[in-house]
A and B are shown apart, each in its own frame.
Chain A
Amino acid sequence: AQSVTQLDSQVPVFEEAPVELRCNYSSSVSVYLFWYVQYPNQGLQLLLKYLSGSTLVKGINGFEAEFNKSQTSFHLRKPSVHISDTAEYFCAVILTGGGNKLTFGTGTQLKVEL
């Protein structure tokens, strides 16, 4: 079975500073990888995805992530955060050819401070 680990439950960062949210996964078969963001009292919004091809993927709101197959990682980065980036971020995987069951990490609360 696949699993997703987000090592940091909370990440505080000052506005305009860079940030990296870490995600590692485990799976015996190939997966698709996703990052979602959740603002308070809202559903999940897709930030970016890795399906195939270039290992560096760019998403919305200036976020990007790099797929590293050897380290089974998919870390999310942003060079300069804004107050509005304060939210919870979820890394998720889905098996290729395995239907629509997303397996999520436990989430990382990003808190941007002035």
Chain B
Amino acid sequence: KAGVTQTPRYLIKTRGQQVTLSCSPISGHRSVSWYQQTPGQGLQFLFEYFSETQRNKGNFPGRFSGRQFSNSRSEMNVSTLELGDSALYLCASSVEDQGNIQYFGAGTRLSVL
């Protein structure tokens, strides 16, 4: 089985722009979660989607949004980028079973200049 695929791997944007990141989960996984990783704040949960519905949300401003499609692929969008949004964005997928074990993609490295 193919793993979790995130595209693109690297992105460079300037302040004020918006960006869309994509995540394709492992086949058969219906849950997709997004995390932000920074040196200062560590790994923080952004949101989770299951069957095209947002099921959980972390403490991030409304500039961060996401969606999930009927094939379970997910996108996250960040509008009006700020320098502090520079981070590694990780996507994870899981099946609904005991432990809801999450499998991570390689991430998208976003740099905001």
Residues of A within 8 A of B (CB): 32, 34, 36, 41-46, 49, 51-52, 90, 92, 94, 99-107
| B interface size (C-beta, 8 A) | 27
| C-alpha gap A107/B37 in the complex (Å) | 11
Contact A43 B104 (CB under 8 A): yes
Contact A102 B35 (CB under 8 A): yes
Contact A99 B105 (CB under 8 A): no
Interface residue B75 (Cβ < 8 Å from any Cβ of A): no
Q: Please name the residue on chain A nearest to B90 by beta carbon.
A: A43
Shortest Cβ gap from B40 to chain A (Å): 10
B55 CB contacts on chain A under 8 angstroms: 99-100
Contact B90 A44 (CB under 8 A): yes
Known contacts A49-B99, A100-B33; is-contact A44 B42 (Cβ 8 Å): no
Q: List 20 A-B contacts (CB under 8 A).
A: A34-B101, A36-B104, A42-B106, A45-B104, A46-B101, A46-B102, A46-B103, A51-B98, A100-B48, A100-B55, A100-B56, A100-B92, A101-B33, A101-B45, A101-B48, A101-B58, A102-B43, A105-B42, A106-B42, A107-B43
Within B43-101, the residues touching A (CB, 8 Å) are 43, 45, 48, 50, 55-56, 58, 90, 92, 94, 98-101
A104 CB contacts on chain B under 8 angstroms: 42-43
Q: Please name the residue on chain B nearest to A52 by beta carbon.
A: B98
